[in-house]
Amino acid sequence: MTTSTTTAGTTMQAIIQENYGEAENVLRLGQAGRPAIGDREVLLRVHAAGVDRGVWHLVAGLPYAVRLAGYGIRAPKTPVPGREVAGRIDADVVKSIGADRVIDYTREDIADGGRRYDVILDTGGNRPLRQLRRDLTPRGTLVIIGGETDGRWLGGSDRQLRAVMLSPFTSQHLSTLLCSENKADLIALTEMIESGQVTPVIDKVYPLSETIAAIRYMRDGHARGKVVIDISDASHR
């Protein structure tokens, strides 16, 4: 996460990480080299950045599979961390943005009352695969997107692996989803936000200097929507 300095130069203000660990132990506010612009490239001024579980994984270096994915074995390859995904949202907020029915998973099971679902999107959850399959109809579809467990090696991604391997041998369709940003999707998302079809849910906004507090707030499960780092504010100091 970076912000341009107010005067011309070769450095910029940034949150810097040189080792893996908890945010309060490995992140610091400092100066980083300003990116060089190559042929057919542009330099963008970023005004805000999101904080999500993906940021925590990259900062902590856990599960270890993150490091093997190319982010650096002993230390981060990129000293300036940053990612983008949504945070946890509570029941009232979910209702306010149009959900027909909301289940408080801390108080009831999603299949209470004998309900079974044609499609389940499991986003960043930790429910066992067998339980998710039980909650599906016989020919239902399960899509596992991320996962959070205490495993230091796979950190919940073992559910995706087992789902994909089991799917050919059952009437249910079990799959996973890996996504990456692309121009077409970003344009479509921007149009939906500008037209009011999609309303971002923002919980709290932190200045760049309080990035550690933002990550801690998200990590401890307090977020009720998106946690945002305001970078533009720091650029005027």
Q: Which residue has the higher pLDDT, 194 or 63?
A: 194
Least confident of 53-62, 84-93, 178-187, 223-232: 84-93
Query: Would you state the pLDDT for residue 142?
Result: 94
Give the model's confidence band at 7: pLDDT under 50 very low, under 70 low, under 90 confident, else very high: very low
Q: Dihedral, CA atoms, 181, 216, 151, 178, nearest 10 degrees?
A: -10
Please tell me the pTM assigned to this model.
0.67
* pLDDT of 6: 41
Structure tokens at 191: 């149009």
* More confident site: 161 or 157: 161
For residue 142, which of 117, 109, 125, 124 has the smallest C-alpha distance?
Answer: 117
Under the banding of pLDDT at 50, 70 and 90, the label for residue 232 is confident
Domain positions in the chain are 2-87+201-236, 91-176
Give yes or no for residue 4 having a pLDDT over 50: no
Of 12, 2, 19, residue with least CA distance to 71:
19
How do residues 79-108 score in pLDDT, each as one tens digit? 777 655 444 556 777 777 778 888 777 777
pLDDT score at 153: 65
Residue 74 confidence (pLDDT) above 50? yes
Q: Which residues of 28-67 are buried (b: 16+ CB within 10 A; e: fewer)?
A: eeeeeebeeeeeeeeeeeeeebbbbbbbbbbbbbbbebbb
Superfamily name and number for 2-87+201-236: Medium-chain alcohol dehydrogenases, catalytic domain (3.90.180.10)
Residue 143 reports pLDDT greater than 90:
yes
CA distance 72 to 164: 27
Calculate the average pLDDT of the chain: 81
pLDDT of residue 87: 45
Question: Tell me, what's the pLDDT at 117?
Answer: 92
Residue 154 has pLDDT above 60, yes or no: yes
CATH number belonging to domain 91-176: 3.40.50.720
Instruction: Check pLDDT > 60 for residue 233.
Output: no
pLDDT reading at 37 higher than 50: yes
